[in-house]
Structure 1
Amino acid sequence: MATIAKRESGRWQAKIRRKGYRAQSKTFTTKAAAQKWIREIETKMDQSTFKSTEAAEKQMMDDAFENYFIEKLTKKKSAKNIRYKINHLKKVFAGLSLLDVNIQIIREFKAYRLEQVKGDTVRKEMSLIQRMFTYAMNEWQIYLPNGNPVSPVSFPAKGKQRDRRFNEGEEERLLSHAKKYQGIIHDLIVLAVEAGMRRGEMVNSRDEKEIEKHGYACMCWENFNVNNSTIFLEDTKNGESRTVPLSSRAKQIILEQPRKLQGPIFEIRGDSVGQAFRRVTKRAGIENLRFHDLRHEATSRLFEKGLQMMEVSAITGHKDLASLKRYTHLRPEDLAKKLA
C-alpha cells in the first residue's frame, strides 16, 4: 500500500508499506516526483529486486570514516598517520551521507585536492575513501545502488620514486656536521647506512599506551646478541619479526651506547631524529636528503657488494621483491667497473 501526503512545509511525503519489506518513505518537492518514486519502488518489489538504501541515507560520511577507523585501522602501525587523514576527510565530507556521495563528488574532491597537495597524497586519500566504502558495503551490508563511487574514478598518476643517494663528499660532510651537532644523531646515521633499518626500528616511536599494549618495536638491549653480531626486531612495519646481521661498524656503534639490561638502545624519539637530521643536513649544505634515504643508500650498497635479492630482503625486511627492487639504485659507474 502506498500513500502520498502533503506536509506543512509544502513538500510531498511518499510512503510504501508492503508485507515482507520494511516501510519505505521519502520526501519530494513535487507530487509527480513522489508518484514516480512509488512506481519505481513497487515495480522492484514486484520483481523481488528491491534493496533499501535507507542505511546508506542514514549513515553519514563522518561517522562512517570514524567507525571504519575504529573497527579496521586502529591496530595498524601507521594508525597515527591514518588518523590524521581520517580527520581531514571527515571535515571534507561533513554533512553528506554515503548515498549522497557519487562519482561526480569524488571527481570534484580529486580536482580540489590536486590543487593543494601532490598526486601521491591524493592517491592515498582516494584509496582510503574507496576502502571505507568497500568495508561499508561488505561488513555493514549497506546497499549502494551504483556501487563504490570511487572505483570508476581514475587515480592521479604515481609520482616518480625517490632514488636519492649520497653525492660525492656528502656522506663525509654529513657525518662531520652530525658529530659537531652532538647527541646521538651521528651514530644513528652511521647505523642506518650500515644496517639499512627503518627509523622506527632503530628508535622508539610509540607512546606509553602503545608500549603497554604492544611493547617496543625498536632495537632493545635484550635482543642484542653481541656474540653473533645480530639484533632481533620483534615487531616491524610489515608485521613480521626479523634478525638483522650487523657489520663490525654497526656493532661498534651499539656497543658505544650506555648499556642497560633492557629497553631501547637509543633514548630518543623518532620525531626528534627527524628534526635533528634536518638541522644537520642544513648545516652541511646538503639539499633534498631525508633520513629514509639512508635506507636506500644501505640497500643499494648491499647489492653493490654482490648480495642476492633474497639475501638483501632478509636483512632489510622488505616483504616482497617488487618493493625491494625500487631501492636498488646501483651506480652506473660501479657497474661500468664490473664490465671493464
Structure 2
Amino acid sequence: MATVRKRNGKWQAQVRRSGHPSRARSFITKPEAQRWIRDVEAELDAAEAQPVTSAQAGAKLLASTTIADLLTRYRDTVTPRKRGHIPEINRLNAFLGQPWASLPLSDATPQVFSRYRDHRAGQVSPGTIIRELGLLRSVFETAQNEWDVPLTANPVAKVRKPTAPEGRTRRLAEGELDSLLKPSSIGRTIWLRAAIQLAIETGMRRGELLNVRWSDVDLRVGLLTIPRTKTDISRRIPLTSKAVSILMELRDAPGARNEERVFCVKPDAFQLAWQRCKLRASRSQPDILDLRFHDLRHEAVSRFFELGLSTAEVALISGHRDMRMLFRYTHLKPEAIVAKLQTTSTPLARNQQQ
C-alpha cells in the first residue's frame, strides 16, 4: 500500500508491503513523491518476481520450524515403530516441556544443548544424560536424512557427553538368592520364583522371559528359542538341567497348558511384584534393595564363565554380538578363580614334582 500526504509544507510518500520493510521519503512536490512511489513499487515487483533460491527457502524453513515440530513428528512417526516406544515417548514429551523446544531450528545451536546438559547434571545421572543426548541426536539426524530439513549440521553431534558411568558389578551376595526365593513363592506371584531362577539359569532379560511362548520351548532336547530380542536377532539357547526342571514344573501347573506364554504377566505387574519381593527380602538382607532384575543377567553370564564355558559359548547363550559388552556383563568372583587355580597344577608345579 502506498500513501502520499502533505505535512509541514512537504509531500510525504510511504510504501508498505507484506514481507518487506516499510519505506518513506519527503519531497517538495507531489509529482516527485508519486514518481518515487512508482519506482519503489517497480523495484519490489521485480524482487518478488525473482525465483527464490534453495538457500533462501532453506533459511525460511529453518526460521519457521521449531525444535518442538521435530520432536513431535519423531514421537508420532518414528518412535511407535520401536520396541521400547513407551519410555521414549515419555522422554520426548518431557523435551517438549523444555524452554528450548520453542526455539526455531535456525537458533538450535550446540550451546543450547550444552546448557541443557549442564542443567540436567544436577538432576540425573550421567547415564541418563547420555541417553537423552543420544535421542536428541537421532531426532536431528532423522530430520536431516529423511525429512529433508536443511540443517547444515546436527547441533547435538558436537555436544560433549558426560563421562559414562562404570558398568554395574552387582552380583548376588551370599544368602540373597534364598532371601528372594522365599517371598516369591508366596501368594499370587509364585511365578516370580520361576522367573528369578530362569533368569539366572539362562541369562535372559525380563522382556525376553515375558515373551517366551510354550511353542518356543523344546524340553525334549533342552533348547529354547528366543524370537524377540533386544537386538531383533532371534537365538536358540541350550538349557541347563535345572532350567528344564523349572519349565517342566511350570508346564505341569494347573491351567498352564491353556496359556500361550510361559509367563502371562504384564511388564508393569512384573516390576511391581519384583519390588515387593525385594522389600520382603530386605528384612533379612537390607542391601538387596539396590538389586535390579537385570543384575540377574550379570549373575548368569558370570556363572557361565565360572563353569568354564568359552567366550563363544557364553555369547551364544547371552546373545551378545559385541565382545566388549559381553565382558561388561562378566564379573567373575576371585574366590572361584582361586579354587580353579588350586585344583589345576601349573607347568612349574609339574616340573617341581618330577
Give the TM-score category using the shorter length.
0.7 to 0.9
Q: What percent identity do the matched residue pairs reach?
A: 33
User: CA contact under 8 A between 1:222 and 1:261: conserved in structure 2?
Assistant: no
Task: Report the counterpart of residue 192 of structure 1 in structure 2.
Answer: 199
Q: Does 1:154 align with 2:147?
A: no
Kept after mapping to 2: 8 A contact 1:238/1:319: no
Q: Deviations 1:147-188 (Å, cap 9, x if unpaired)?
A: 222122211110121110011121122212322455211111
Structure possessing the higher radius of gyration over alpha carbons: 2
Determine the C-alpha separation between the residues in 2 that align with 1:144 and 1:235.
36
**Aligned partners of 2:51, 2:311: CA distance in 1, in Å?**
60
Distance 1:90 1:129, change over 3 A: same
Q: SS state of the match for residue 53, structure 1?
A: helix
Matches within 5 A, 1:132-281: 132-145=139-152, 147-180=153-186, 182-203=189-210, 218-257=211-250, 258=253, 259-260=256-257, 263-281=260-278
- The match for 1:284 among 258, 281, 284 is 281
Counterpart of 2:117 in 1: which secondary structure?
helix
**Residues of 2 paired with 1:252 and 1:277: CA distance?**
22
1:78 aligns with 84
Aligned mates of 1:270, 1:68 — CA distance in 2: 25
Give the C-alpha shift of residue 88 in structure 1.
0.8
Query: Helix, strand or coil for the counterpart of 2:105?
Result: coil
Instruction: Tell me, yes or no, if the aligned pair for 1:229 and 1:246 is still in contact at 8 Å.
Output: yes
Distance 2:171 2:48 in 1: 69
Alignment match, 1:21: 52
Whether the 8 Å contact between 1:303 and 1:312 is mirrored in structure 2 is yes
What secondary structure sits across from 1:74 in the alignment? helix
Measure how far apart 1:73 and its partner are: 2.9
> Paired residue for 1:111?
118
Going from structure 1 to structure 2, the CA distance change for 1:196 and 1:133 (only over 3 Å counts) comes to same
Contact 1:221 1:261 in 2 (8 A): no
**Structure 1 residues 213-233: Cα deviation after superposition (integer angstroms, max 9, x where no partner):** xxxxx1101121121111212
Aligned in 2, Cα 1:51/1:59: closer, same or farther, shift over 3 Å?
Answer: closer
3-state secondary structure, aligned to 2:107: coil
2: CA distance between counterparts of 1:339 and 1:301?
A: 17
Q: Which portions of structure 1, spanning 4 or more consecutive aligned residues, are displaced by more than 4 angstroms?
A: 15-18
How far the C-alpha of 1:4 sits from its partner, in A, is: 4.8
Tell me the TM-score normalized by structure 1: 0.79
Length, aligned pairs only: 291
Q: Distance in 2 between matches of 1:266 and 1:154?
A: 42
The structural deviation recorded for 1:22 is 4.6
- The offset of 1:191, in angstroms, is 0.8
* Alpha-carbon distance in structure 2 between the residues aligned to 1:224 and 1:140: 43
2:314 maps to which residue? Answer: 312
* Cα deviation, residue 17, structure 1: 4.2
Contact 1:51 1:143 in 2 (8 A): no
Query: 2:101 — aligned with what?
Result: 94
Which one of the candidate residues 58, 64, 73 is aligned to 1:58?
64
Aligned twin of 2:13 = none
TM-score using structure 2 length: 0.76
